[in-house]
């Protein structure tokens, strides 16, 4: 089975898709056989009678992949967490289908980038959470977090859950970091998180110029990832 990472967030809309796509772009430049996956997507749109996820299409564009069915096996129309979305559509999340798609993909790639949905405690079913999927995939975790006020609490909680569940946390990437007009919380929070948790900071990623996932425009994403993220720590053993 291929190596890889599972990208989780401290909350929704923290930039998991951006970071995941950025890693895929860099991996392609390094000539790695890279696979991407968004196991469950909600808030999908309809095209030609089928549901599609903007996030998944963005990841596939970054990686050069084409297999949307395996990259995103579970899709829902409503922009909800998976469990309520599944209840609204009377269609339970099939975790066996997810794991089968992951196994099929990982056989063809040397490194997998799997983007979660929300944080580790997001439920797929009444008794199966994102952290359960991470454990079954046996992948190390990269946490994506904000730098704004509140991130210390959210990030430390995520790290604590990961450790309690026996997950391997490679580190934290703080996204949408304002390099030019840092507030005091942006300047101090990442170091406090790292000092208190013992988990390394893997990057401080600023706002990306020209980025638009819905139109599949990456802007300066690849260049920023190469400059601001410890890529060897992510792609290495």
pLDDT band at 15 (very low <50, low <70, confident <90, very high): very high
Helix, strand, or coil (residue 142): strand
Q: What is the CATH number of the domain that holds 55?
A: 3.40.50.300
Per the prediction, the chain carries an average pLDDT of: 94
CA distances from 205 to 30, 41, 79 (A): 20, 24, 26
Number of structural domains in the chain: 1
| Nearest-angstrom CA–CA distance, 175 and 202 | 11
Residue keyed to tokens 């999908």: 44
**228 belongs to the catalytic site:** no
Range of the domain at 125: 3-235
Mean pLDDT of 212-222: 93
pTM metric for this prediction: 0.95
CA atoms within 13 A on the CB side of 133: 33
Mean pLDDT of 77-106: 96
Q: Which two tokens stand for residue 145?
A: 């977090």
Strand pairing class (45-47; 50-52): antiparallel
pLDDT band at 2 (very low <50, low <70, confident <90, very high): low
- Tens of pLDDT, residue by residue over 157-213, are 999 999 999 999 999 999 988 878 888 888 899 999 999 999 999 999 998 989 999
Q: Which two tokens stand for residue 38?
A: 């968004």
Q: 22-26, 131-135, 233-237: which range is least confident on average?
A: 233-237
Active-site choice (38, 170, 191, 228): 38
Mean pLDDT of 124-136: 97
Whether 13 has a pLDDT exceeding 90, the answer reads no
- Please report, rounded to a whole number, the percentage of residues in the chain having pLDDT higher than 70: 99
186 in Cβ contact with 157 (< 8 Å): no
Residue 186 phi, psi (nearest 5): -65, -35
């Amino acid at each position: 089975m291929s190596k890889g990472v599972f990208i989780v967030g401290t909350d929704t809309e923290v930039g998991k898709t951006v970071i995941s796509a950025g890693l895929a772009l860099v991996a392609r430049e390094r000539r790695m056989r890279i696979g991407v996956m968004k196991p469950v997507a909600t808030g999908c749109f309809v095209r030609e009678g089928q549901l599609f996820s903007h996030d998944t299409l963005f990841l596939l564009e970054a990686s050069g992949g084409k297999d949307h069915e395996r990259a995103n096996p579970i899709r829902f129309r409503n922009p909800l967490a998976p469990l309520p979305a599944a209840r609204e559509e009377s269609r339970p999340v099939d975790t066996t289908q997810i794991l089968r798609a992951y196994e099929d993909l990982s056989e063809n790639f040397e490194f997998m980038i799997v983007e979660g949905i929300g944080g580790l405690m997001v439920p797929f079913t009444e008794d199966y959470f994102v952290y359960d999927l991470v454990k079954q995939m046996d992948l190390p975790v990269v946490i994506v977090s904000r730098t704004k006020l509140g991130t210390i609490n959210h990030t430390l909680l995520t790290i604590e859950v990961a450790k309690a569940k026996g997950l391997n946390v490679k580190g934290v990437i703080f996204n949408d970091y304002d390099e030019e007009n840092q507030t005091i919380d942006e300047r101090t929070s990442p170091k406090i998180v790292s000092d208190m948790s013992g988990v390394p900071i893997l990057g401080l990623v600023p706002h990306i110029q020209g980025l638009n996932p819905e139109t599949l425009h990456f802007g300066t994403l690849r260049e920023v990832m190469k400059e601001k993220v410890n890529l060897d720590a992510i792609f290495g053993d």
